[in-house]
Structure 1
């Protein structure tokens, strides 16, 4: 039973659980759980707003009016369960509620980060990676950069994705950025002003590290040390003169 996910809704500015869901999970009639909510309404309201709703077209058992229910916030849901005997069923439901509200908080935080970093539509293209960045990559990879008109080696894209974008973006944001990008678009076109500022800082840092590295292995080791990404640690050579 612990694998059953509790579905939450968003109401009154926060994640909430329908009182009918709690009753169903407890295996009791909703009217009994709802009676506890109305009986101790003032105490529930000490824990936050207590929205009551009616579902159009749904009839209460044995009644002629649309069924009323409450949308409980996290504290209110736990308070309602505290009014029940602490059986294995109640303990299991408490655990699933803890997980559901935790996941809701995590998702809300991720949505907030998404909004701060990603645009809803791509901005016009503008040059963000300078020639000095690509020349530095060419030197450590033993490749040639002769300007964008002649293209860049595929390895540049791999390095950029790992040590520029992956290093500064949460993995969920990085995945969403890749999903939003069209074939003719660059990832930086989807970044907000704040996201582009952070991108510019990372480009400068990666350029400096590449300029001070002996070769690609040395560069990778320095990046792992600087940005804390997982990888095999290697010997860091003395800074190139």
Structure 2
């Protein structure tokens, strides 16, 4: 496609390729009404150019679907593993395309030096900030599958516009999602996730909150091993 036509498409079609192709009739109407300027002359698209636009959108949508498939494969594993640089790059593309969320690596991005110092003091592995702009923070050399899963639950809770709750209550929601997918994670990962939330609940309730957190007897039994 010509440069002028590419600019026109970006200006006239504001949705993602996948969303656009879900309404092909609307796309065709927009293309029928689209006016571009070429060599200082305004004109409408030819039939060949319209067909080219549709084909281009189908190609982009296909690439997006392939990216989503790879992400599904990435998180269909058995836990206890750190993501590689290639997988982190793939995650960055996925989160931006699907959620418009930026991934930032605190141990690489020099502008996040203070955050890294704070993380090191508190032994933080990841976090999600609603923003704006929404951002997901990870460590490049210590981004486990479970850490990414944990932060993705927070991200999806925000993206789906779920009701705001006490931050500890949201951590309980994350734990419940981890437990639902317990076959993906190692025993130690499950235990650490459980204890993390349990400790948060205890501290919050000491300060006057009345947050309920059901005991998980399978995890309680592991205290004799890991504590």
Shorter-chain TM-score bucket reads under 0.3
The normalised TM-score by structure 1 is 0.24
Q: Higher helix fraction: Structure 1 or Structure 2?
A: 2
Bigger relative contact order, structure 1 or 2, given CA contacts below 8 A and separation 6+?
1
The normalised TM-score by structure 2 is 0.25
